[in-house]
Amino acid sequence: MRFNNFKHDKGVAGLTILLSLVVMLFVIGLLVMIFSLMGGALSEATYDTTTVSLELGFINSTGYTLTNLGADSNPTVTSIVNNTAGAETIALTLITNTAGVITNSTAVTEGSVNISYTYEDSNTGTEVINDTTSAIAGVTGWFSIFIVIGAMVVLILLAVIIITSIRGSGMIEGGNSQGGNVGYA
């Protein structure tokens, strides 16, 4: 009795495995991209905003570096009060804030000032999200290894199919390990 229920694809050695590998890599890449974008959005949403009021500083020719900054390197200055000129408020357009260093943009050195500013600081949630996003984004480094292993599997399947086809065709005789013609004197 002969059963023809099995599908026999001829000439497609390992093609289904190779296509499965390509689809798997595509889906992994898509998931990595989605999770990286989500992690970036969540990371920005979890910072804590901190307000510092009336930090005492001295603006000279080199500027004053804000001391209470967290992870944020560019705080937002909300007000500067000049202590040496009778608590006069300095216009924010007269100062320059470069990565938390406050300098006077005019030629006049202000002296002792009280600076109020806000900055965003990371917390445990931010750090966990950043670490997870970095780890997920590192998965793509393995893609070349998956491709090489998949190609090797396809080549091995191809070699097995070729050897089986040659043996099945009757081109070589099997079972003789002696070499040469046996039985001739």
Whether residue 85 is predicted with pLDDT greater than 70 in this model: the reply is no
What's the whole-model pTM score? 0.45
- For 42, how many CA atoms within 13 A lie in the half-sphere containing its CB? 16
pLDDT of 120 reads 78
Of 99, 96, 102, the closest CA to residue 114 belongs to 102
Tell me the mean pLDDT in the region 54-80: 76
pLDDT of 8 reads 58
- Rounded Cα gap, residues 110 and 176, in angstroms: 101
pLDDT of 13 reads 59
pLDDT of 124 reads 79
Do strands 76-82 and 95-98 pair parallel, antiparallel, or not at all (unpaired)? unpaired
Give the number of other Cβ atoms within 10 Å of residue 109's Cβ: 12
Lowest mean pLDDT among 10-14, 22-26, 32-36: 10-14
- Rounded Cα gap, residues 107 and 4, in angstroms: 94
Tell me the mean pLDDT in the region 10-23: 70
pLDDT confidence of 159, banded at 50, 70, 90? confident
Cα-Cα-Cα-Cα torsion 125, 129, 131, 136, nearest 10 degrees, comes to 160
Tell me the mean pLDDT in the region 79-99: 78
pLDDT of 173 reads 64
Higher pLDDT, 7 or 127: 127
| Mean pLDDT value across the chain | 75
pLDDT of 174 reads 58
Tell me the mean pLDDT in the region 34-57: 78
Whether residue 14 is predicted with pLDDT greater than 80 in this model: the reply is no
Q: Which two tokens mark 87?
A: 């608590």
Q: Which two tokens mark 185?
A: 């004197």
Tell me the mean pLDDT in the region 52-58: 79
- Rounded Cα gap, residues 163 and 169, in angstroms: 10
Contacts (Cβ under 8 Å, ≥6 apart) of 54: 81, 114, 115, 116
Whether residue 177 is predicted with pLDDT greater than 70 in this model: the reply is no
Whether residue 181 is predicted with pLDDT greater than 60 in this model: the reply is no
Tell me the mean pLDDT in the region 87-100: 78
Whether residue 6 is predicted with pLDDT greater than 60 in this model: the reply is no
